[in-house]
């Protein structure tokens, strides 16, 4: 996960370098950059991963120009790699992964149908259930109404800081910045 965060931030920083070499205003690019990440089975690490990505991106943006502010956009895909041949288990797993994505602060979420291991699109019923999972979190649980649901949780704050620090150190050590 540390490697993935370091590579993601390194690539985003490379875009900023290219944009800057063309003497274009960084503010225009920063407001349009979007990150797309995948989540795995680790509930708390998924939350911390998204939060650490936000921390790292803010460090990059402020290192370019301290007056710049970034509203990061993160799109999250739940991996099909973690799916099994048990559709009901996949539904439960997807719900847990989706909750960690929302609590972590993702802006867009894509849940694969629980039977996508059979064919990429899944059945119409599985597509509907995947979509309804998102609607339940938004319309009935109001998970989109809280700014940072993980704020104040010592464990998640520490995990986020540790991930961000490890990724930042990897960027520095490997010369990716």
Coil/strand/helix, residue 121: coil
The model carries a pTM of 0.88
- pLDDT 10s digit of each residue in the chain, 177 long? 999 999 999 999 998 888 888 888 777 788 788 999 988 889 999 999 999 999 999 999 888 876 777 778 899 887 767 777 888 888 888 888 889 999 999 988 888 888 877 777 788 888 888 888 888 888 888 887 888 888 889 999 999 999 999 999 999 998 877
Per-residue burial over 82-98, b if 16 or more Cβ lie within 10 Å, else e, is ebeeebeebbebbbbbb
Helix 43-64 / helix 154-173 crossing angle, nearest 10 deg: 50
């Amino acid at each position: 996960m540390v490697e993935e965060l370091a590579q993601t931030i390194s690539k985003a920083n490379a875009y900023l370098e290219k944009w800057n070499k063309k003497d274009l205003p960084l503010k225009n690019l920063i407001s349009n950059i979007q990150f797309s990440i995948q989540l795995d089975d680790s509930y708390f690490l998924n939350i911390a991963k998204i939060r650490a990505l936000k921390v790292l991106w803010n460090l990059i943006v402020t290192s370019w120009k301290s007056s710049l502010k970034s509203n990061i956009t993160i799109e999250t895909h739940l991996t099909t790699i973690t799916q099994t041949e048990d559709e009901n288990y996949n539904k439960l797993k997807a719900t847990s992964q989706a909750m960690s994505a929302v609590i972590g602060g993702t802006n867009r979420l894509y849940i694969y149908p629980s039977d996508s291991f059979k064919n990429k699109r899944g059945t119409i019923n599985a597509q509907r259930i995947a979509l309804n999972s998102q609607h339940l979190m938004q319309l009935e649980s109001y998970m989109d109404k809280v700014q940072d649901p993980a704020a104040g949780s010592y464990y998640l704050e520490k995990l986020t800081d540790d991930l961000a620090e490890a990724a930042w150190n990897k960027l520095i050590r490997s010369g990716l910045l």
